[in-house]
Amino acid sequence: MQQSLGRRCAAGPASARGKTFTAIAPFRACGSRRPVKVYAAPEAPEGEAAGPSFLQRLGRVIKEKAAGDFDRFFAGTSKTRERLGLVDEMIAMWKLEDYEESLEELEEVLISADFGPKTALKIVDRIRDGVKTGKVKSGDDIRVALKAAIVELLTARGRSSELKLQGRPAAVLIVGVNGAGKTTTVGKIAYKFGKEGAKVFLIPGDTFRAAANEQLAEWSRRAGAEIGTFREGARPQAVIAQNLDALRQRSGKDAADTFDLVLVDTAGRLHTAYKLMEELALCRAAVSNALPGQPDETLLVLDGTTGLNMLNQAKEFNEAVRLSGLILTKLDGTARGGAVVSVVDQLGLPVKFIGVGETAEDLQPFDAESFAEALFPRSPAAVAAK
Ligand SMILES: Nc1nc2c(ncn2[C@@H]2O[C@H](COP(=O)(O)OP(=O)(O)OP(=O)(O)O)[C@@H](O)[C@H]2O)c(=O)[nH]1
Ligand SMILES: [Mg+2]
């Protein structure tokens, strides 16, 4: 309740870029028991209907602009594809009269390629339906049906791969296990949005080690973003709160100090470490307390090479901080993309971005069709026949 009230207060309807935030909404209006001030929505320019905000539009632009770097994406599903090579063999030997046997084999192959038993069964059931209704007859029909089933699972709860940013500033909390690629992803997102003209602020929420701050500071230089104050060994929730408080005071005084986007980096933690997960929930609360309705996005960074363990990670992180989406990194390596289908299917969380390298440019919006295509590329013969 408090959150939705807060969101209404914090969200800005108009094209906010460059506009002065004239009023500070009183805290009571937002239903908060804490005396926090909230960024008020700017007035919509006269004659202009309240459309999507600057950041909302930006999320879309970034999605549209990204040129699909197909080669790297293809390389990125290599581990899964290696195993899915068996699908090609199965398709080559496909006989409609023995379809039950073939579908059982297909299910096993999908499980071995990290799709997980539940999701593998769902996919195979869809193909079975296709066989029964006469839509799937040949081996090639299976390939088409497989891709369609995967795209369907990946998009069942909408194709919301763009970031949903509504507040000003909009806050994005980045979480994940150790070494998943969180800090790198924070840097890449800052770079992407900065390039489009957004004013980005980074919060060094990994207080565990000084090197984490140095790494983020380096990204802030590359991305042209400002970085907040770091305190090694301090409680991360306190550092987040302190930084947001300082931001609020600055923007209250000077509109030029108002940021569009705040990205909060956090320390890596094992999803099974209860105390650390509790700490993460407090980090999220620190963001909501300072900016009611925020974070607009809480994103789990998953190392694409992890395999099905990512499902357990996603479940635990979701429980602790209510995730809004996933970012899949290291798809340029020996990634095991099959598992992500399972995570999306079972948790209903969209994949927002994929990481395909270590540089600032190596972040792409997720596209379900390209992903399915990467998992089951058409055979060279089929491509030539087209
Ligand atoms: N190849 C490749 N490497 C990546 C990608 N994303 C991150 N990395 C690398 O993975 C390593 C770990 O990345 P970090 O961003 O430090 O990961 P982190 O989750 O912040 O790590 P901790 O803070 O220690 O938990 C670094 O060497 C990154 O350069 C990616 O998409 N592709
Ligand atoms: Mg880090």
Cα end-to-end distance, the chain, whole Å: 55
From edge to edge, which strands make up the β-sheet containing 351-355?
226-227, 200-205, 261-266, 170-175, 297-303, 325-329, 351-355, 363-365
* Nearest ligand to the C-alpha atom of residue 177: 1
How far is 340 from 76, CA to CA, in rounded Å?
12
* CA-derived radius of gyration, the chain: 23
Give strand pairing partners of 255: none
How far is 42 from 39, CA to CA, in rounded Å?
9
Identify the helix (H) or strand (E) that includes residue 149.
helix 139-155
Residue 5 has pLDDT above 70, yes or no: no
- Please return the burial class of 197, using the count of CB atoms within 10 Å of its CB with bins 0-12, 13-18 and 19+: exposed
Cβ neighbours of residue 219 closer than 8 Å, sequence gap 6 or more: 183, 184, 186, 187, 190, 191, 202, 225, 360
* Residue 168 tokens, joined: 């000003």
C-alpha 71 to ligand 1 mean position (Å): 21
Which of 7-11, 51-55, 246-250 ranks highest by mean pLDDT?
246-250
Model's pTM, two decimal places? 0.80
* Model pLDDT, residue 240: 98
Ligand 1 closest atom vs CA 333: 1
Residue 333 Cβ < 6 Å to ligand 1: yes
* Model pLDDT, residue 143: 86
Which residue bears the tokens 């937002």? 30
Q: What is the CB-side half-sphere exposure of residue 49 using CA atoms within 13 A?
A: 1
* Model pLDDT, residue 53: 53
Residue 300 Cβ < 6 Å to ligand 1: no
For the stretch 305-341, pLDDT in tens is 888 899 999 999 999 999 999 999 988 776 677 888 9
C-alpha 328 to ligand 1 mean position (Å): 11
* Residue 11 tokens, joined: 């969200």
* Model pLDDT, residue 39: 28
Measuring CA to CA, how many Å separate 363 from each of 111, 123, 191, 358?
A: 28, 29, 10, 9
Measuring CA to CA, how many Å separate 345 from each of 110, 111, 121, 350?
A: 14, 14, 12, 9
For the stretch 124-164, pLDDT in tens is 999 999 999 999 998 888 888 999 999 999 988 766 677 88
C-alpha 361 to ligand 1 mean position (Å): 14
Residue 77 has pLDDT above 70, yes or no: no
* Model pLDDT, residue 46: 37
Cα–Cα–Cα angle for 361, 366, 369, nearest 5°? Answer: 130
DSSP 167: B
Q: Kindly list the domain boundaries of the chain, sorted by start residue.
A: 2-55, 58-69+167-370
Q: What's the rounded mean pLDDT across residues 195-222?
A: 95
Residue 22 has pLDDT above 50, yes or no: no
Which one has a higher pLDDT value, 346 or 331? 346
Helix (H, G, I), strand (E, B) or coil at 90: helix
Averaged pLDDT score across all residues of the chain: 78
Cβ atoms of 264 and 295 closer than 8 Å: yes
Neighbours of 195 (CB within 10 A): 14
Residue 212 Cβ < 6 Å to ligand 1: yes
* Residue 126 tokens, joined: 């869809």
Q: How many residues does the chain have?
A: 386
How far is 225 from 262, CA to CA, in rounded Å?
10
Confidence at 168, pLDDT banded by 50, 70, 90: confident
Residue 48 has pLDDT above 70, yes or no: no
For the stretch 261-301, pLDDT in tens is 999 999 999 999 999 999 999 999 999 999 999 999 999 99
Confidence at 44, pLDDT banded by 50, 70, 90: very low
* Model pLDDT, residue 303: 93
C-alpha 223 to ligand 2 mean position (Å): 16
Antiparallel, parallel or unpaired: β 200-205 and 24-25? unpaired
Q: For the domain made up of 58-69+167-370, give the CATH fold.
A: Rossmann fold (3.40.50)
How far is 6 from 328, CA to CA, in rounded Å?
30
